[in-house]
Amino acid sequence: MRYKFLFIPAIIALCWMSCRPAIPVPKPRGYFRYDFPEHAYQKFDSAGFPFTFEFPVYGKIEQDLNLNKEEHSPYWLNVSFPEWDATIYLSYKQVDAANPLEKLIEESYRLTAKHDVRADYIKAPPFKTRNGLVGVFYNVGGNAASAYQFYVTDEKKHFIRGALYFNVTPNADSLLPATEFLRKDMEHLVETLQFK
């Protein structure tokens, strides 16, 4: 009987303690969720252009006419991805006496090295495509403006440099899913590139 009187105050105390408001806990910072389509490609083969390649069906080929006039380079193209506000900038140069291959490679390296201020690392593995072209695929780590860049050449007449940029403030963590997705498309573009 004595325990009966202790039981009722214990129940009241438990009920009173369980009704206290929860202590607010801040939620961790979140990032956008990306829904990516299946990788599918179409061929770019425009008359007058000295190259062909395959690019994603969800990308659009654009030509910056002002930049083409400034640089006197009619073959510079952009592959834009409006859904992710991203662009792969492609700049073509002909290898000749005014632009020897060594100069073009050095210029490509210098443009990539400009990201060294914000980059955690820059990896530059060389590659050779199934079409016999050679080049370097730059992987720029950290919050650099461009995470992936490349150059491709036949070492005789043609040289193309490409760089992936997002039209946002660089944040490697939040952009990682999109950069990895578009990296595969860049690799496919490079692998299918052919010079005429």
Percentage of residues in the chain having pLDDT higher than 90: 58
- List the domain range (segments joined by +) for residue 127: 58-195
Sign of CA dihedral 118, 123, 128, 129: negative
3-class DSSP state of 36: coil
When the pLDDT of each residue in the chain is averaged and rounded to a whole number, the result is: 87
Count: domains in the chain: 1
User: Is residue 2, in this structure, part of any structural domain at all?
Assistant: no
- Cβ atoms of 178 and 34 closer than 8 Å: yes
Within a domain: residue 152? yes
Nearest-5° angle of CA 192, CA 195, CA 196? 130
CATH code for the domain in which residue 77 is found: 3.40.1000
Question: How does pLDDT run across 77-117, given as a tens digit for each residue?
Answer: 999 999 999 999 999 999 999 999 999 999 999 998 887 77
List, for residues 20-29, the tens digit of each pLDDT value: 667 777 777 7
Q: Is residue 7 part of a domain?
A: no
- How far does CA 105 lie from the centroid of its chain? 21
Look at residue 108 in the predicted model and tell me its pLDDT. 93
User: Is pLDDT at 1 greater than 60 in this prediction?
Assistant: no
Encode pLDDT of 22-76 as tens digits: 777 777 776 667 789 999 999 999 988 999 999 999 999 998 777 767 677 888 9
Provide the pLDDT confidence category of residue 5 given band limits of 50, 70 and 90: low
- What was the pLDDT predicted at 27? 73
The answer as to whether 24 is a domain residue is no
Segment 173-183 shows an average pLDDT of: 90
Share of residues in the chain with pLDDT > 70 (%): 87
Residue among 34, 32, 55, 61 at smallest CA distance from 43: 55
Q: Which of 178, 126, 125 is nearest to 147 (CA)?
A: 178
In a domain? residue 166? yes
Say what the pLDDT of residue 167 is: 92
135 occurs within a structural domain: yes
User: Is there a domain that residue 40 lies in?
Assistant: no
Does any domain span residue 49? no
